[in-house]
Structure 1
Amino acid sequence: MENDTTDFGFSEVPLADKARRVRAVFDSVAGRYDVMNDLMSLGLHRVWKRFAVGLVAAQPGERILDLAGGTGDLTRLLAPRVGPAGRVLLGDINGAMLARGRERLLDTGIAGNVDYLQLDAERLPLAERSLDCVIIGFGLRNVTDKQAALVEMHRVLKPGGRALVLEFSRPVLPPLKPVYDAYSFQVLPRLGRLVAGDADSYRYLAESIRRHPDQDTLLGMLHVAGFARCQYFNLTGGIVAVHRGYRL
């Protein structure tokens, strides 16, 4: 963050403007976000999220932050695992996404051990060493200062606590790249226009994936933030990766 601009997809925008633009994207797509996730990933996002939750290894009584949790897919998987003595905090900067998440979770009978927080990933309103785990799924690439968010994730974890980042990454199988690029920049915006009435937001989402750090760069960022025992797991040929690190 050495200058006064940052990436918004393939564009450069003022630092202070990115959060507003990202908020507008998710305000626009919140109502059709879950349908689009299924269509865009051919349902694979559910497999990726279950894999990440498996790596969390949540225990009864734990306190977990589902950061940038949006419509609550990860919270829905985590809440039964922490049980009535535990707590899942569903946090998101976008009020429309958070409201949609609360509605979906209540519809599936998940209540009593979930709290909803509208928050900024770069400035978490949580005490130091207060959580057992922080997981962020498909949200880090939308944060203005990703390193600051990772530092905050480290700050709020108890010693021995773990952080997980589930995010789109770089395909590691060469034949995947041209197919993936064609799908991202030709199919996704068309789907966005047809299903969500918004091609531009889905074009941004595709561009934001390309601007996100690759697997090894993000691994280094976790180390810089203070995490130890860092590793990552490639899924679907590296289209998605899960990074995990621990606070000592």
Structure 2
Amino acid sequence: MTDHGSVIGVPPLIMTIFEARGLRKVYHTGELDVVALQKVDLDFKQGELVVLLGASGSGKSTLLNILGGLDVPTTGQLRYKGWDLTDGNERTLTQFRRNCVGFVFQLYNLIPSLTARENVALITDISRDPMKPEDALAMVNMEHRMDHFPSQLSGGEQQRVAIARAIAKKPEVLLCDEPTGALDVNTGITVLEAVERINRELGTLAVIITHNADMADMADRVLHLKDGQIIKEHRNDERKPVTSLKW
């Protein structure tokens, strides 16, 4: 037996983080019903890095918002580690978002009057078992800029602070919606390297939305969405480092 109680030579069990069955989301806008998701079935495992690919309007953001507890499906079931989120009330979903999920968006949403360290501390002050803000910033190679204000940081640096803020609570899930959409290629690579490091070193499930097919090779698994459905899925035998991708 190893120190962790597993049999030598037998790989440890990988926990299912999300299990979705028959997810459907319909938005009612006046007399028109817009179907954003339809009949989505998926499983996400602990420590995976998953890329969601698809054109604008394909349902990627809707799916991410439901996974993160920012929205609920019209029908279907979503379980987080066996816990049925579709039956949760707003208080339950708030606790889920606060303790279990880190969000990274295209816009950084940093508070201009606070330093990088203080922006991250906003999360650590309300989390149950957080990292120190300094440690979270070090994970994204921003420890040397922690006392700078957002206006003193480049776009890529601000996004890395946003990632540090997202991971400071030590979430099991990191959801990234077009995290490099407002950045140039070189800066985007730096940001994706930060996500990749967090996924690898912390074992965090990372789900990244993009319309850039070149990012697919960095993932364990790629889900292609169109018209609210997963139309194709493929797995990479080996993940490629971000710096080796063709852009």
**TM-score range for the pair, normalised by the shorter chain length:** 0.3 to 0.5
Q: Which has the higher helix share?
A: 1
State TM-score, norm by structure 1. 0.33
- Structure showing greater Rg: 2
State TM-score, norm by structure 2. 0.33
Q: Which has the higher strand share?
A: 2
